Amino acid sequence: MNLTFEAVRKIVQQGQNVTDLKQKIDCNYTLQIVENYFPQSSKEKLDQLLCFRVSDGYAKMKALFFRTPNPDFVQLRETDPLVKYPLIKVTSFRILGRPVEGDDFPILILEFERLQILEKIIGQPMSFKSYVANGYQNPNGATSLDDYEFAGIDDLLFSNHKSQSIGCNQPKNTIQQNIQEIPNKQEDKPKQGIKISLSKTKFQKQQQADPPQTELVQQQQKAQVQKQSYDQMAQNQQFQQIQQTKNNQDQLNQQQNLKKQQLRVQIQPQQQQQQQQQQQQNNQFNNKIQNQRNNKNNPQIDFFPLYQINPSFQQPFRGRVVKVNEIKSYTTKNQKDGKMFGIQVIDEENLVSAMFFDSAAEKFHDYIIQGRCYIFSGVQVKPAKNLEQLQKIGSLPFDYTFDQNSSIIEIDDVPGIPLNTFNFVKLNSISQQKVGSIQDVVVVIKSSSGVKEFQQKNKDEKSTRIQLGVYDDSLQEIEITLYGNLAQQYPYQVGDIYMFKSLKINEYQGRKSLQNNYQTSIHYDKNQKEVKDLQNWLQNFDGKLAEPVSKIKLISELINESNKCELDQNLKIYSDVRAQLVLVKNSGTLYYQSCTNCLKKVSTELDAYYCSSCNLTLKEPKFRYILNCKIADSSGNIWVSVGDQQANQLIDIPANLLKQLTDEGKEKEKNEALSKSAYKEFRFKLTSKLEEFNDVKRVKHAVQSITPISNADTQAILNQIEFYMKNI
């Protein structure tokens, strides 16, 4: 069996010349799978792909295959190192990234056929990087084996790919000559699937036993093997010719029937034809929906698991609809308006995402209901354009599209298909998760704001919103905000238990919450295991929840985290620190003149004060604090800005009296007032943001609230820890 010389080098060269990474590249290379490949990059860890290294006998490279349902293929993947080395004929592939200079890149093999399974590796292939460094030379490379063991062709290894061409090292005329030399009384041919050993060890034993007949026995056995291969090849070719003839005949019959129908239609008047076609389509779809709604008996349609559906096998499949998106309008580049919506379908093992456009969207949107089971046929399957997006929701790596000629039939509920694929987390772990991450939760409704309308930003349309207070058995409470149709999907009564799929984590002023996004779906099922567990816990729950807890940071942690603000001007960081008030700066600006109405700064005009915001002239302004204070803990210290409301907690006298002490030159009384809270411990809630003043950029830490620390507070924290230890 011959490999294609320098196939790996040709593949890399073809990939380097490709401008579009989604382009399908046609080829005709014979390669050998030589070892497993376990990618390290998270982008390459796709559950629906199998990764190997393939070889041309001289060099090897990374190749990804779509996962097939065959157990032999999976077994081949789970064997490391490999013990069987299949030969494949690749006819098309796609590159998955740009190569580093002198190195290869992963390829996704789209179309191939299995040729044969070897028990040895052809040649001694090296990595492509080493192959390039060695001047594209490998002294131990080879494209064929003279002596090898092969198993019978195993049609289960790859999905329905049969061998069409088998190349042999020995010339054809030599093979025929050896066949003619075989005696007529030769033993029966070995059956397909039985190993035939032609190893050198066996030949050496035969030479010791009977040296004169060694060459003849060897030629006979080789000829027998080659003849068997040619016989198998001839049978495959004959079967394919018969199948091709049958397919051609079927296509010819279909074309003739189509022409007859077209002739009949042309005879009718055009108006009558249009009316009949429209009426026939409407009646057919309405009757289909009515029958399915009333009877819902499972139709006699052959369907296949989702993992078998791919671009070369677009057959009907069965599944449960776990999400139906809202129908939306869109406008193309050619200024054509249309409608679209998407769904997510799950079967016993896998999830897919499908789209409907224009007439198909209008036809099926009201018919498909979340949570019900259907048989889908007439779907168009193509390789995914956005693998990363599908990986986030755990979908198979294909794009599924339905048109108006597709068929979707509702069937009875299938108990073996779950409501969705969940990965539930406890609410007390949300505070440790990153903002923007996606989480699944199962929770009890504690409170509801009710559905309210609000005006969307930068849009003339109004939308709906509901805010839910929820908790779980971790004793933590959190707020969930739902927008759009999800806000009205369920009544959300207090005490009900719901499962939320794919909620997004938000943060406002240091407090985290959850809200829906385009991936979110909501499920209500009392029979779900997690719902039953939470219901059992709820029966013994005394109603006492833990107080919301936010993480207290060290000042050193705050400084390191606030450095990120220098890279992003819009970034605002919320922090809680427990620190001592070290110093209140008594020089510079301690207060400002503000408007008595809006409290903003006013300007001086002769003997009056003017507020540009309120357009008012004031006789006397209101003085308000604006202090700079240094706070410190065991890890470091920072300067913070303290406004009037928080400053009054640190200084007993108001700002106008401090101004009076300053004007009267009473520095001692002034300093005593400013230092009254020095070295006392407080809990500061801070916001950190990058600001610019006099063309100088710096991170400003502003105090939002101040809470004194006392022995009672310390005891409350100890009580809370004890509460957690008893209930968790």
Q: Which of 279-283, 388-392, 397-401, 715-719 has the lowest mean pLDDT?
A: 279-283
The backbone region for 152, taken as left when phi is positive above 0, alpha when psi lies in -120 to 50, beta otherwise, is: beta
Average pLDDT, integer, range 495-515: 86
Please check the confidence at residue 152 and state whether its pLDDT lies above 80.
no
Greatest mean pLDDT among 202-211, 508-517, 609-618 lies in: 609-618
Beta bridge partners of 633: 636
- Identify the pLDDT of residue 220: 56
pLDDT above 70 covers a percentage of the chain that reads 70
Please check the confidence at residue 588 and state whether its pLDDT lies above 80.
yes
- Identify the pLDDT of residue 308: 86
Amino acid at 382: K
Residue 306 and residue 354 in contact, taking contact as beta carbons nearer than 8 Å: no
pLDDT above 90 covers a percentage of the chain that reads 22
- Identify the pLDDT of residue 241: 58
Please check the confidence at residue 187 and state whether its pLDDT lies above 90.
no
Residues ≥6 apart with Cβ < 8 Å to 46: 64, 387, 391, 397
Q: Which of 83-97, 196-210, 237-251, 630-644 has the lowest mean pLDDT?
A: 196-210
Residue 353 and residue 393 in contact, taking contact as beta carbons nearer than 8 Å: yes
Please check the confidence at residue 559 and state whether its pLDDT lies above 70.
yes
- Identify the pLDDT of residue 222: 55
Q: In terms of pTM, does the model score above 0.75? A: no
Average pLDDT, integer, range 694-717: 79
CB atoms within 10 A of CB 183: 8
Residue 565 and residue 690 in contact, taking contact as beta carbons nearer than 8 Å: yes
Average pLDDT, integer, range 664-677: 89
Between these two residues, 430 and 194, which has the higher pLDDT value? 430
Residue 226 and residue 196 in contact, taking contact as beta carbons nearer than 8 Å: no
Residues ≥6 apart with Cβ < 8 Å to 680: 580, 581, 708
Please check the confidence at residue 549 and state whether its pLDDT lies above 80.
no
Q: What is the pLDDT of residues 234-284, one digit of tens each?
A: 555 555 555 566 566 666 666 666 655 554 444 445 545 555 555 555 555
Residue 374 and residue 317 in contact, taking contact as beta carbons nearer than 8 Å: no
Amino acid at 207: Q
* DSSP-assigned letter for residue 470: E
Q: What is the DSSP string of 107-170?
A: EEEEEEEEEEEESS-SS--EEHHHHHHTTS--TT--S--SS--BPPP-TTTTTS--------SS
| Closest C-alpha among 421, 457, 465, 453 to residue 440 | 421
**pLDDT range class, residue 401, cuts 50, 70, 90:** very high
- Identify the pLDDT of residue 156: 36
**pLDDT range class, residue 422, cuts 50, 70, 90:** confident
Average pLDDT, integer, range 132-157: 65
Query: Tokens 């091709």 correspond to what residue?
Result: 244
Please check the confidence at residue 167 and state whether its pLDDT lies above 70.
no
Backbone angles phi, psi at 451, to 5 degrees: -75, 125
Q: Which of 67-76, 370-379, 524-533, 686-695 has the lowest mean pLDDT?
A: 67-76
Average pLDDT, integer, range 297-319: 83
Q: Which of 337-351, 509-523, 586-600, 675-689 has the lowest mean pLDDT?
A: 509-523
CA 539 to chain centre: 37
> How distant, in Å, are the alpha carbons of 5, 89, 169 from that of 119?
20, 18, 17
Average pLDDT, integer, range 678-687: 90
- Identify the pLDDT of residue 155: 36
Q: Which of 75-84, 270-279, 321-330 has the lowest mean pLDDT?
A: 270-279
- Identify the pLDDT of residue 158: 42
Please check the confidence at residue 301 and state whether its pLDDT lies above 90.
no
Query: Tokens 């029937």 correspond to what residue?
Result: 257
Average pLDDT score, the chain: 77
CA 265 to chain centre: 49
Q: What is the pLDDT of residues 447-463, one digit of tens each?
A: 999 998 888 776 777 88
Please check the confidence at residue 148 and state whether its pLDDT lies above 50.
no
- Identify the pLDDT of residue 481: 93
Q: What is the pLDDT of residues 620-641, one digit of tens each?
A: 899 999 999 999 998 999 999 9
DSSP SS3 for 535: helix
* DSSP-assigned letter for residue 38: -
Burial readout 373-392 (b: 16 or more C-beta within 10 A, e: otherwise):
bbbbbebebebbeebeebbe
Q: Which of 75-84, 374-383, 553-562, 688-697 has the lowest mean pLDDT?
A: 75-84
Residues ≥6 apart with Cβ < 8 Å to 446: 468, 469, 470, 471, 477, 494
CB atoms within 10 A of CB 534: 19
